[in-house]
Structure 1
Amino acid sequence: LFELFRRARPYLGLEKTEFDEIVAMLAHGYATKRGQRAALVHYDAVHRKLRERRGSRMAAIMSGGAIPEVFDYRVKLEPEGNFIGTLNEDFAIESLPGDIFQLGNTSWRILQIGNGVVRVADAQGQPPSMPFWLGEAPSRSDEMSAAVSRLRAAADPKLPRPDQPRRPDELDAAVEWLGQDYALPRSAAEQIAAYLAEGKRALGIVPTAEALVLERFFDEAGGMQLVLHAPLGSRINKAWGLALRKKFCQSFNFELQAAATEEALVLSLGPMHSFPLEEVFRYLNPKTVRETLVQAVLDSPIFETRWRWTTTLALAVPRNRNGTKLPAQIQRMIADELLAAIFPDAAACLDNIQGARELPKHPLVDQAIRDCLEQAMDLPQLVRTLQRVFAGEIRCVAKDTPEPSVFCNEILNSAVYTFLDDAPLEERRTRAVYTRRTTEPRNADDLGALDPAAIERVREEAWPAANTADELHDALLLAGFVRATEASPGWRMLFDELVAAGRAFDARGFWISVERFDELNTVVPQSTTPAIPERLRKSWTREDAARELIRGRTEVLGPVTARALADSLGFPDTALVDGALLALENEGKLLRGRFTGGAAQLEWCDRRLLARIHRYTLNRPRKSL
């Protein structure tokens, strides 16, 4: 029998151990709290023969089939009883008798909602509501994704460079090529060329399967959105998004909202997420991505649905009983009961689980996981993509932008079926993203740059203002220290007043409050020490003291380089400052980048100040209108 199965193409790679496990499953069934169930064959282990059990033939006839149950409600017209169509289960349950909905080109009034059946009458053209369907959206084929990527790659060199001044005829070459090679009407070719050109001006490149782009930007609420532009198809992007979401959850202990489409995936970051953008490409290792994705799938609705489908196809959950169809809720209960018996960790309280959940070795669990990873998603192709990323075969571009590029519009406004978490539409953080400006050609030239005037404005606002001695003391507590050369006019008299009161100290040009003197003294040793009450004394390590001083400085300086911070402390090198900056980045306090136009060195900026710079950059064109 095993060799007979091996002759069929789907079972060509079937191992003998797997075959034996399936035979044992069919022979012994499943041990549940209601006893042994779903045993379909007798297994004579002595003579190695299989025989059918009583009722197994009828179970196969009544409940067999490869088409999974979707539990849609049948719509029947009364009084004739004619079948009209189907409605999604959630829509049917949420509806009430008397509601009017549209199905096809006709409106129908609900008369009665029964067990799997909605009975309706013609509503005589009354205004209807539109029904909805929840489920998995079909993914485009690999061939279609490859074709889209080829079009983008071929169009890229025909589009104007990001730094090239605009000209009326700049898209003519791309439009002509699209019309000739793809037989497109001129209006369609112009739209495609304009779309790709605007995206290229913002990102510097058109994303393709051979050139992936990570884009990060602030939203209107001060949060950040991370978009991976990868036209690889939704099956790969869904797997990548779920695994990345799980990786962020494990690293930062924070659940993210995420979504994936055919062209991109988005992660809505929280205030504690701060990291070098280019490192995200290597967050997932091709050798361990399967384990990460499996743990992510177990928490998603994908596994629940695929588990129910698997148990139904394996006849472990009957579709019909005693000649009548088993209600949807009963099938779900039986499937959940089987899951609890076979895979207890999947149904257990997460508070009682330490670390990753270990998969049991069982044919149904193996099949459900395989369906999730290789049907709903495409794990093998994701692994190959990550291998090429690690090998440097795929170009990876990371870009921080003041606002989303035009390529982000689809993923930011995607439908419910693209969501990789259970947050409803009205709670999506992507709804807080401003996207209108990307459609205005006159403003897209500098979409990838921050406004220098906005940076200077934030620097001026961040630097503390002090008109009294108490206000100057607050400024010294906030900034950590102020060099005498950078003090604002009029501060000398206020500072002398603080020194006379024993609240501040001039440490060789460092204006410092006595509360923070120990931090400065640990980093920059002083020959003299002010009188400090013992209750205010604290011992510091050099690294911790430097981190806290740098924290204060970045809150009042805006974008600043490590070299500038080291100079303010009088350090010949930036080693200690670099360590402090990395520690603050890990806390989510700072973001790195080149924010000032023409900046040659890497800059660091307080997250709150950078969000304000982005907001002022966005507000500039609004004010000009």
Structure 2
Amino acid sequence: MPLSQFHPIIQEWFQSRFQGPTEAQTAGWPAIAKGQHTLISAPTGSGKTLAAFLTCIDQLVRKGITEELPDATQVVYVSPLKALSNDIKKNLATPLDEISALAQERGTPLPEIRTGVRTGDTTPSERAKMAKRPPHILITTPESLYILLTSESGRRGLKEVKTLILDEIHAVADDKRGSHLSLSVERLCELAEGPVARIGLSATQRPIEEVARFLVGNPEIDADGKPNCLIVETGRARIVDLAIQLPQLEMGPIASHELWGETLDAITKLVMGHRTTLVFVNTRRLVERVSHQLSERMGDDAVVAHHGSLSKATRLAAEEKLKNGEVKVCVATASLELGIDIGDVELVCQIGSPRSIGLLLQRIGRSGHTVGGTPKGRLYPLTRDELVECAALARGIDQGNLDRLKIPPWPLDVLGQQMVAACSAEEWGEDSLFNLCRKAYPYRDLPREKFDEVVDVLSQGFAPRQGRNGALLHRDG
């Protein structure tokens, strides 16, 4: 039985909360317990997060029972969104509190297992508190991890990391943000005093082996390109209720004011027949416009907006109202497309083309966000071009197709930024730094001459359009 590997207290807690492990959990737990690199690829609502975290919690519980927990971070969880980081913190608090209470009842008191969030929303006082007493489980973003690896206090707290969890890894792997993260991961593993097990959580992707290679890094890939990583794939054939909604007005090359009005009227009518609806648009500007116009039709109390430029308090308030069913509709951009707990969303509407099968599936998957739930989505194209794109996306989903993942090869601007950060924290020999960078999968084929050119530019300075930037690195010898 998969649960037999856990401490009895963990087993009892899990059985009191769930009917049984999901497929992703059953397949992933044994490898994670052995410290093996593991990639879990499964749809939203399949229990991926608990598949990654429960073994980590079990290890902390066992250590806390037999010895004192160290004042150092043991687990680093990286999320691409600040909102998802805050959500994970809240979702971890409940099981940790319940496990602690259960242990107390069973006469096995546990020391406090501390969790902490370090993102752009973290206040200076909270950062200072974490520096003095690091959390055992650190929840952060790629950018904040990069900052921690450059600061003295951050590096001190990360030296004992045992497990690294990269959530929604597919959302960053195919762009420069992913290249930046891959270098931060290698810097973290270089800093850690022992081996670091890497756990990746991903939506369904093709080829999934490419995501695994991105996760484990170049040294963990054999001559045939096979990554040293257990790949768990589940739920590929999930049923999706998807339809394209067409306006009565004729579409043109741009969306007319009248067509916008008809589209929003149609969405309003559909929303009123569902308990909670998410409306996705492609820009923050459109979030404000659509939320305002839906508020005029439904009332201010029925609509909230959510995007990354809003204040932390405004975002959290919108998420809480959505989760509690206090609003009918939330208009959002990418800020809510990943695995944030927003309650029982019944319907997802997409205005315009999302231009990606994976992105569309991710957004539709915010509805029916339960094990065995059926996602329900409606597409609202506004132009002829968007209609063609939406039709192609719907057909691709119907045929089970996915976008092919393409990881950009060794972006040099990202490389330069990470090199400066690494050298600001400690001295590096050029050969050692080059070898470290080549461990990151996007930089596996980085030519030595390109690396040397970046070093030359950073150590000699360079001339932008106006003025001149001085040297950012000191080259000794």
In the superposition, the TM-score normalised over structure 2's length comes to: 0.25
TM-score, with length taken from structure 1: 0.20
Who wins on radius of gyration, i.e. which is larger? 1
The structure showing larger relative contact order (alpha-carbon pairs under 8 Å, at least 6 residues apart) is 2
